[in-house]
Amino acid sequence: MLVHLFRVGIRNGPFPGRPLLPLRFQTFSTGRCSDGCHGSSLLRALARLRFQLRAYLPRAPPAPSRSPSAWCWVGGALLGPVLLSKHPRLCLVALCEAEEAPPARCTPRVVESSFNWTLFWHFLRPHLLVLGAAIVLALGAALVNVQIPLLLGQLVEIVAKYTREHVGSFVTESRSLGTRLLVLYGIQGLLTFGYLVLLSHIGERMAVDMRRALFSSLLRQDIAFFDAKKTGQLVSRLTTDVQEFKSSFKLVISQGLRSCTQVAGCLVSLSMLSPRLTLLLMVATPALMGVGTLMGSGLRKLSRQCQEQIARATGVADEALGNVRTVRAFAMEQREEERYGAELDACRCKAEELGRGIALFQGLSNIAFNCMVLGTLFIGGSLVAGQQLTGGDLMSFLVASQTVQRSMANISILFGQVVRGLSAGTRVFEYMALHPCIPLSGGCCIPREQLRGSVTFQNVCFSYPCRPGFEVLRDFTLTLPPGKIVALVGQSGGGKTTVASLLERFYDPTAGTVMLDGRDLRTLDPSWLRGQVVGFISQEPVLFGTSIMENIRFGKLDASDEEVYAAAREANAHEFISSFPEGYHTIVGERGTTLSGGQKQRLAIARALIKQPTVLILDEATSALDAESERVVQEALDRASTGRTVLVIAHRLSTVRAAHRIVVMAKGRVWEAGTHEELLKKGGLYAELIRRQALDAPLASASPLGGKPKDPRSHQHKF
Ligand SMILES: Nc1ncnc2c1ncn2[C@@H]1O[C@H](COP(=O)(O)OP(=O)(O)OP(=O)(O)O)[C@@H](O)[C@H]1O
């Protein structure tokens, strides 16, 4: 019997990004046909209703990046938590491996790590109270949701009654139910608002705490750690991974908890409405679970490969944009475009493959879900026909089973999100839990008045941690007497900079000791050593994109303006700084790009001098400069070297001939040592190097690009 057309808007819960569900209850019949086909119109109407409901249900994964496996709704919901709790590594290791770049020789083996629950607890603990409140509100919203299908069923019963007998007032009879439903919708909305606000509060605070802790931990890692990692990877842990972890955390509480409660609550309601139909649902579900889990793992694998490929493409873009000057200088734009294009094509292939997998999944899931609804309607309809179930109960059953389906679909999305969140959390916590071999501080300091600045390398052997088989220094012994200038020369790649790095204690020797005033560097406070004792000026000074004043003050944070000016004067920098309209407040641009090489170098010297170092390391400090800049910088260096222990690393021997001692390095050890004259007289390697450079000099001066001095002898430095 045909009857009314009415519309109701129902909303069973917050659906991110979806509008309030305007659901249309179509014309239907709840009566029985005279031929005994009970409620056939009802069935049609319910089918349409279900179709409309489905339009609002989350189906397959919305996007590859968000949902690797919607089939997991079944497998994930039930097996996921168990799997994750028992074998988190199964899911995590592959993702971690994907994130780490494929090991070049320098990349240490990726240590298989698991989610650090202790650290997670540390970040969560301060928010437990708020979290508890959010959980209570979420559970409340879920329980309210469980009530709604039952009330809707009762409402349908009233409607059905009025389709059969037009007695009494429909409005009067349905008023109290309608009011209860309205109140429930209101409460549910409020609870949803409440727990989402609380979760946002917790999530954002945790994210800030985690980023702060991770950044602090990264800054404390050994230099060897940075040799093996790409900056992009580290930054990505600070940004993307923390973000991913935060989203997952919020989702687990908001949707996970809520969906699980709804599934449990609705299953109870369903079994009360019709145990038989519920049994059907319970039988069909495990079968779908098996297929879904299989497909889910395949899709997850594909999704991971996709992400790896995207990371590779990003790496190419990052490198090209980061080194745009070099790319431009070599006119390599076309080649970089091609490289990026090739990586993008590979991304596309993978993404399309994933898309096909998801499409297949979605198609199959549609068939499966439709069959389940059809089965429910068919069997439910027979029960209605046999008067074992009322039309209203069938309606309630259908709406409740839709709630179960939608909750499980949420759980499926959630499952993928949980896996990604745990992987992201693992990556974030991994570096937080990493302890550097060389601490930033701790150990003793030598009082200023006792500090002489004598440095000794005693039988030092050293290999870089990322190249353990390659010994750079072998039984290297060298003394830098206090207040004297020692020059280190030798072939490129001979280990000169490595000696400087050991003196700064960027690394510890694999054997032997480095001593300052007779004390092993390992017993001294590294931050005192670097902050107050050793000043380092390299060939390519790196400045920060702040003002000149701040850059110089980087050497000594509490330096007064006067100290900054004095350091700048000592470094021959005051004049050019003062010539800028903004003076010391001039912003130098990213890495100091708005300054010339000589100006940058002089700022770097001022930055090193402001801390009044006892030991000064000059690593090819003037080699990148033209003749005029070199003269000005050299003047500053000469001034700075007076009264300090200085280690000069140089290629151009003309710049070091006045050093108190010249040390020639070869094969990782001291080959010969002496003054310029002694070494020349000896006629060894140094004499050979001098001879070669003398031969090269005319070539350099003949070259139109050779900006270096024509006669190396014209540089008589005071070292
Ligand atoms: N961070 C690093 N990780 C691994 N190996 C390194 C690292 N830095 C340098 N090396 C290697 O150590 C060896 C010595 O390098 P080092 O820079 O000390 O030589 P150098 O004498 O200063 O060279 P140059 O005069 O060209 O600057 C080289 O073979 C180099 O490849």
For the segment 528-543, the average pLDDT, to the nearest whole number, is: 86
Which of 107, 497, 653 for a ligand 1 pocket mutation test, highest count of atoms within 8 Å of Cβ? 497
The answer to whether residues 338 and 473 belong to one domain is no
Instruction: Looking at the structure, tell me whether residues 123 and 232 fall in a common domain.
Output: yes
Q: Ligand 1 center to residue 667 CA distance, Å? A: 12
The answer to whether position 299 is within a domain reads yes
- Does 497 contact ligand 1 (Cβ within 6 A)? yes
Which of 466, 467, 478, 498 for a ligand 1 pocket mutation test, highest count of atoms within 8 Å of Cβ?
498
356 in helix, strand or coil?
A: helix
Same domain, 524 and 416: no
Compute the mean pLDDT over every residue in the chain, rounded to the nearest whole number: 76
Hey, whose CA ends up nearest to atom 14 of ligand 1?
Answer: 495
227 Cβ below 6 A of ligand 1: yes
Distance 105 CA to ligand 1 centre (A): 15
> What kind and span of H or E run contains 682?
helix 676-682
106 located within any domain? no
Domain enclosing residue 335, as ranges: 275-388
Ligand 1 atom 1 nearest Cα: 227
Token pair recorded at residue 517: 């005033």
The DSSP symbol for 252 reads I
CA 498 to centroid of ligand 1, rounded, Å: 6
Q: Is 364 in the pocket of ligand 1 (CB under 6 A)?
A: no
Q: Is 379 in the pocket of ligand 1 (CB under 6 A)?
A: no
Distance separating alpha carbons of residues 709 and 717, to the nearest angstrom: 14
> Distance from CA of residue 249 to its chain's centroid?
16
Minimum-distance ligand 1 atom for the alpha carbon of 224: 1
Average pLDDT over residues 241-255: 86
Both 364 and 414 in a single domain?
A: no
Do 240 and 287 lie in a common domain? no
Q: Is the pTM of this model over 0.90?
A: no
Ligand 1, atom 6, lies closest to the CA of 464
Q: How many angstroms separate the alpha carbon of residue 496 from the centre of ligand 1?
A: 8
Residues 264 and 280 in one domain: no
In angstroms, rounded to a whole number, what is the distance separating the alpha carbons of residues 683 and 140? 90
Do 374 and 341 fall into the same domain?
Answer: yes
Report the Cα 418 to chain-centroid distance in Å.
16
3-class SS shares of the chain: helix, strand, coil, % to 5: 60, 10, 30
536 phi/psi in degrees, rounded to 5 = -125, 125
Asked whether 467 lines ligand 1 (CB < 6 A), one says: yes
Q: Is 496 in the pocket of ligand 1 (CB under 6 A)?
A: yes
Based on the fold, state whether residues 189 and 252 are members of the same structural domain.
yes
Ligand 1 lined by 494 (C-beta under 6 Å): yes
Distance CA 496, CA 670 (A): 10
Q: Do 304 and 190 belong together in one domain?
A: no
**pLDDT digits over 25-65, tens only?**
333 333 333 333 333 333 344 444 443 333 333 333 333 33
Is the confidence at residue 544, as pLDDT, over 90? no
Q: Which of 131, 128, 123, 130 lies closest to 206, judged by CA? A: 123
Residue 462 near ligand 1, beta carbon < 6 Å = no
Residue 399 lies in a domain: no
Whether 693 is in the pocket of ligand 1, judged by its Cβ within 6 Å, is no
Task: Match 């004598």 to its residue by tokens.
Answer: 454
Say whether pLDDT at 214 is over 90.
Answer: yes
Q: Please report, rounded to a whole number, the percentage of residues in the chain having pLDDT higher than 90.
A: 19
Alpha-carbon distance of 246 to 210, in angstroms, equals: 10
Nearest CA to ligand 1 atom 26: 492
Q: Which residue(s) pair with 444 in the sheet?
A: 524
Asked whether residue 571 is assigned to any structural domain, the reply reads no
What lies within 8 Å, CB to CB, of 265 at 6+ separation is 142, 143, 145, 146
State if residue 476 touches ligand 1 by the CB under 6 angstroms criterion: no
When pLDDT is cut at 50, 70 and 90, the band that residue 70 belongs to is: very low
pLDDT value of residue 51: 38
pLDDT in tens, 369-426: 788 778 888 888 888 888 888 877 887 888 788 778 777 777 777 777 787 788 888 8
Distance 151 CA to ligand 1 centre (A): 76
Q: Is residue 637 part of a domain?
A: yes
pLDDT of the residue at 265:
80
Which atom of ligand 1 lies closest to the CA of 467? 4
Q: What is the pLDDT of residues 230-240, one digit of tens each?
A: 777 788 888 88
> Would you give the end-to-end CA distance of the chain in angstroms?
108
364 and 513 share one domain = no
Closest CA to 638 of 610, 654, 616, 623: 616
Atom 7 (ligand 1) nearest CA? 464
DSSP β-bridge partners for residue 547: 587
In a domain, 657, yes or no: yes
Check whether 150 has a pLDDT greater than 90: no
Cβ of 464 below 6 Å from ligand 1 = yes
Tens of pLDDT, residue by residue over 107-148, are 333 444 678 889 999 999 999 999 999 889 988 888 888 788
493 CA to centre of ligand 1 in angstroms: 5
Residues 632 and 518 in one domain: yes
Number of domains in the chain: 3
Q: Which residue type, as a one-letter code, is found at position 498?
A: T
| Residue pointed to by tokens 């938590």 | 81
**How much distance in Å is there from the Cα of 492 to the middle of ligand 1?**
8
Task: Ligand 1, residue 651: give the atom nearest the CA.
Answer: 25
Q: Cα–Cα distance between 693 and 628 in angstroms, integer?
A: 21
